[in-house]
Amino acid sequence: MASLTRIIGEWTAPDFLSAVVAREGVDLDPAAITMVTFLSTDGPMRPSEMARKMVTGASNVSKVAARLTAAGMVNRVPDPADARASLLGLTPAGHQVAGTFVRAGDGLVEDLLRGWSPGDRTELARLLQQLEQSTIAFSAQLRANHTRPEQTVPGATEGAKQ
């Protein structure tokens, strides 16, 4: 499993992400790549939800969204559930860039599997699909049953949640 950890680490490293999409002529920072990817896969969302997904603060999301808005890739639209709020969404240009990410990923995998036999490629795809399904099921179970233990801070009231 150390190999899987290493692969995930490499593929999610900010400089790796930027380099992979740069091969397709896209010059975006890792945070912008992440935001475009989430908007492409999950659809329009509130900035607070984007901050949660990106594991960052609202001010960082605002800055990244502003850069992508200036580049014509992201826009803000009214939230149909709450007229006071807005959603971040992709523009047609943003959708094009997201499609470029897919092509960049396909090219990366093609380069990585160059020289592999068709049988090995098929077996890898089958095993990855199996791992994906196991991961989805396990993730749902974890989220449904996960509770966070109470933590105490020295000097705080015993048993108070922090």
Q: pLDDT digits over 92-106, tens only?
A: 999 999 999 999 999
Q: Examine the pLDDT at 34 and tell me if it is beyond 70.
A: yes
User: Coil, strand, or helix at residue 74?
Assistant: strand
CA–CA dist 16, 57 (Å, integer): 23
| CB of 21 closer than 8 Å to CB of 33 | yes
Q: Is the residue at 135 inside a domain?
A: no
Q: Is the residue at 70 inside a domain?
A: yes
Number of residues assigned to the chain: 162
Q: Is the residue at 160 inside a domain?
A: no
State both tokens at 26: 């896209």
Q: Is the residue at 19 inside a domain?
A: yes
Tens-place pLDDT, residues 107-158: 999 999 999 999 999 999 999 999 999 999 999 999 898 755 554 455 544 4
Average pLDDT score, the chain: 90
- Give me the domain span that covers residue 38: 2-112
Indicate which CATH number applies to the domain containing 35.
1.10.10.10
Q: Is the residue at 127 inside a domain?
A: no
What is the structure's pLDDT at 1? 84
Query: Which ranges in the chain belong to alpha helices (H)?
Result: 2-12, 14-22, 30-42, 47-54, 58-70, 92-112, 118-145
Q: Is the residue at 76 inside a domain?
A: yes
135-158 core/surface letters (b: 16 or more CB in 10 A; e: else): eeeeeeeeeeeeeeeeeeeeeeee
Q: Examine the pLDDT at 162 and tell me if it is beyond 50.
A: no
Q: Is the residue at 134 inside a domain?
A: no
What is the structure's pLDDT at 143? 87
State the total domains in the chain. 1
* Closest to 68 in 3D by CA, of 111, 36, 22: 36
What is the structure's pLDDT at 161? 46
Q: Is the residue at 133 inside a domain?
A: no
Over pLDDT 70: what percentage of the chain? Answer: 90
